[in-house]
Chains A and B, each alone.
Chain A
Amino acid sequence: MPIIETKNLTYTYLTGTKPAFEDVTLEIDKGEFIVLTGPSGCGKTTLCRCFNGLIPHFYSGKLEGEIYVSNLKVIEHPIHELARHVGMVFQNPENQLFALSVEKDVAFGLENLGISREEMRERVDWALKMTGIYELKDRAPYELSGGQQQRVAIASVLAMQPEIIVLDEPTSFLDPVGAKNIFEVINKLNKDLGITIILVEHRLDLTSKYASRVMIMDKGRIVLDGLPKEILNSEEARLIGVGIPKVTRLYQILRNKGVPLNRVPLSAEEATRDLLEVLRI
């Protein structure tokens, strides 16, 4: 039983003249790590808004087809109920933070779950430490930098320990080391706790190595869906204009010149390993 399932899902914003995405049929299983990418404006953010019910409950407009998340029919369950199953980290953290302190922001969602004070304390501290902002817990979110706010938004979702976490370019304001740390945390949640991850990203050089599956959207449709190495090495991905990792590009150039490389690398480590083998022939 997939944890997310859509059938012929099509959505048009109230003011839209054409669908933001159309005829999306997909199944996502528990524990998958999906990287969802595609040209800007392709509909990926809009699609993600369906996973926690923002569409159709918050955004009006026309939703056609079917969508089930954690066995719940999304159109029949309110956002606060879906929020127990799906955590969402938006592109712009300012849209998400509102409390007077970082700690309160992170605790907010938990207050509605009916868990003990003690457990709440533990989960908040854990989330703050995982995202490296424990020392900021008494600060006001609005006086933090964009990068710090992004960590608060991620911590708020982590504390809820949902089955599914959807992240829309969650590290765009973070410095590269900070971004890497966050991706490592997300990867750990996926591998250790089995949380299903849907990560919307353009920077595939940083993220594709964690993915179990890459989906590419173009003009409102899912056009490629499969194993990261196969998808990112495909001619179609290049033509759509997806940012293929540089080492994957290097592999393609070398292969075309007849270098006997057999595996598609996504990270510098993988490329190093493969090239060392070839260089020692």
Chain B
Amino acid sequence: MIKIQDVFFTYPNGVEALRGVNLEIQDGEFLAIMGQNGAGKTTLVKHINGLLKPTKGTVMVDGVDTTKVSVATLAKKVGFVFQNPDHQLFSETVEEEISFALRNFGFSESAIKERVNWALNLLDLAEYRKVSPFMLSGGERKRVALASVLAWDPKIVILDEPTIGQDSQQKERLRQFILQLNHLGKTVIIVTHDVEFVAECKSQVVLMSQGKIIAHGSAKKVLTNLEVVTQASVVLPQISQLFANLKNISFPTEVIDVNEAADILLGKLGDSQ
């Protein structure tokens, strides 16, 4: 479990990025953190893997205070995939890229081989095994960065903007994949602006604005609440926007799923005929 208690964080240049954040994230949870640029989303998740330590307050990961352990120790438990894959990739081939951290963590050569294969297949990268990551498209590089973190099997996986540059099939694969990680008991935290992806994932959602959490709950509850969504510089997903427009003629408003929307509309149309 991750327990963030009354956390404040001020950058050396004086910017107050977090101003009293409280959040509990359960094991096996799928949480999307959304909100305005500069609201503190990335600052918050960097507290979970210990890259940043709170100016005030505490962050506990599995009962361990992050100020008491090194980033290297936390890294084995908390995998972090950066927004920009180019900040993370440096090897000559995709295969070496994925092997790198595994070597650092001291896995045996046979285990490395197995895990690299597993990660390559999982993210549909097998054909690029011997290719330089820099020859790949933005979306593909993003998958290499993800593969290299997942290969060491961290318990908590943080993905900063995982859907950028990904087409819809890859997003669907990512969604399936995150659910699979959840089933294995892993906690997945994503920082994202992609409302349609979150609506599809039906994850838990945290909305941030100006260094604070302004809403926390299911996607269905949070992403249909126009007031908090607007305050966080987010927009409603298309389906919930549609139902917000229809609310005056006694439609439910908490709808984000296209199939559910179709059922409700067909029900109404059936009644009226």
Q: Which residues of A are in contact with B by a Cβ distance under 8 Å?
A: 13, 15, 38-41, 45, 91-92, 94, 145-148, 169, 172-180, 202-203, 205, 241-247, 249-250, 253-254, 257, 259, 267-269, 271-272, 275-276, 278-279, 281
- Least CB separation from B194: chain A residue: A203
Given pairs A148-B37, A172-B193, A173-B164, 10 additional interface contacts (CB within 8 A)? A40-B137, A40-B165, A146-B37, A176-B233, A250-B242, A250-B261, A253-B259, A259-B269, A271-B242, A275-B246
B262 contacts A by Cβ under 8 Å: yes
Most B Cβ at <10 Å: residue of A202, A253, A271? A202
- A91-B138, A176-B233, A250-B258 as given contacts; A146 in contact with B84, CB under 8 Å: yes
Q: Give bound CA distance, A146 to B145, whole Å.
A: 18
Cβ contact within 8 Å between A241 and B167? yes
Cβ contact within 8 Å between A279 and B249? yes
Which single member of A15, A94, A246, A254 contacts B239 (CB below 8 Å)?
A246
Tell me how far the C-beta of A280 lies from the nearest C-beta in chain B, rounded to whole angstroms: 9
Q: How large is the interface on B (under 10, 10 to 19, 20 to 34, 35 or more residues)?
A: 35 or more
Q: Give bound CA distance, A279 to B245, whole Å.
A: 13
Tell me how far the C-beta of B197 lies from the nearest C-beta in chain A, rounded to whole angstroms: 9
Q: Produce 1/0 per residue, B232-273, CB < 8 A to A.
A: 111111110110011001000000001101100110110011
Cβ contact within 8 Å between A175 and B234? yes
Q: Give bound CA distance, A129 to B259, whole Å.
A: 41
Q: Which residues of B contact A13 (CB under 8 A)?
A: 135
Cβ contact within 8 Å between B262 and A39? no
- Least CB separation from A38: chain B residue: B167
- Least CB separation from A271: chain B residue: B242
Cβ contact within 8 Å between A175 and B138? no
B38 contacts A by Cβ under 8 Å: yes
Cβ contact within 8 Å between B239 and A247? yes
Q: Which residues of A contact B36 (CB under 8 A)?
A: 175, 177-178
Tell me how far the C-beta of A220 lies from the nearest C-beta in chain B, rounded to whole angstroms: 12
- A40-B137, A40-B140 as given contacts; A253 in contact with B258, CB under 8 Å: yes
Tell me how far the C-beta of A4 lies from the nearest C-beta in chain B, rounded to whole angstroms: 22
Q: Which residues of B contact A148 (CB under 8 A)?
A: 37-38
Tell me how far the C-beta of B190 lies from the nearest C-beta in chain A, rounded to whole angstroms: 14
Q: Which residues of A contact B233 (CB under 8 A)?
A: 175-178
- A250-B239, A254-B266, A257-B266 as given contacts; A39 in contact with B167, CB under 8 Å: yes
Q: Give bound CA distance, A30 to B188, whole Å.
A: 46
Chain A to chain B contacts (Cβ below 8 Å), 30 pairs: A13-B135, A15-B135, A38-B167, A39-B167, A40-B137, A40-B138, A40-B139, A40-B140, A40-B166, A41-B139, A145-B37, A148-B38, A172-B161, A172-B165, A172-B193, A173-B37, A175-B34, A175-B37, A175-B232, A178-B233, A180-B235, A246-B199, A246-B237, A246-B238, A250-B258, A250-B262, A257-B262, A257-B266, A259-B266, A272-B246
Q: Which residues of A contact B138 (CB under 8 A)?
A: 40, 45, 91-92, 169
- Least CB separation from B160: chain A residue: A146
- A148-B37, A250-B262, A254-B265 as given contacts; A243 in contact with B167, CB under 8 Å: yes
Q: Give bound CA distance, A155 to B74, whole Å.
A: 40
Q: Give bound CA distance, A146 to B41, whole Å.
A: 13
Q: Give bound CA distance, A276 to B262, whole Å.
A: 14
Tell me how far the C-beta of A34 lies from the nearest C-beta in chain B, rounded to whole angstroms: 18
- Least CB separation from B269: chain A residue: A259
B196 contacts A by Cβ under 8 Å: yes
Q: Which residues of A contact B195 (CB under 8 A)?
A: 176
The 8 closest A-B pairs by CB, nearest first: A40-B139, A243-B168, A147-B37, A268-B241, A241-B169, A272-B245, A177-B233, A176-B235
Q: Which residues of B contact A91 (CB under 8 A)?
A: 138, 165
B83 contacts A by Cβ under 8 Å: yes
- A148-B37, A176-B195 as given contacts; A92 in contact with B86, CB under 8 Å: yes
Cβ contact within 8 Å between A173 and B194? no
- Least CB separation from A151: chain B residue: B37
Q: Which residues of A contact B137 (CB under 8 A)?
A: 40-41, 45
B22 contacts A by Cβ under 8 Å: no
- A94-B84, A254-B262 as given contacts; A176 in contact with B166, CB under 8 Å: no
Q: Which residues of A contact B235 (CB under 8 A)?
A: 176-177, 180
- A40-B167, A241-B169 as given contacts; A175 in contact with B245, CB under 8 Å: no
Cβ contact within 8 Å between A176 and B249? no
- Least CB separation from B242: chain A residue: A268
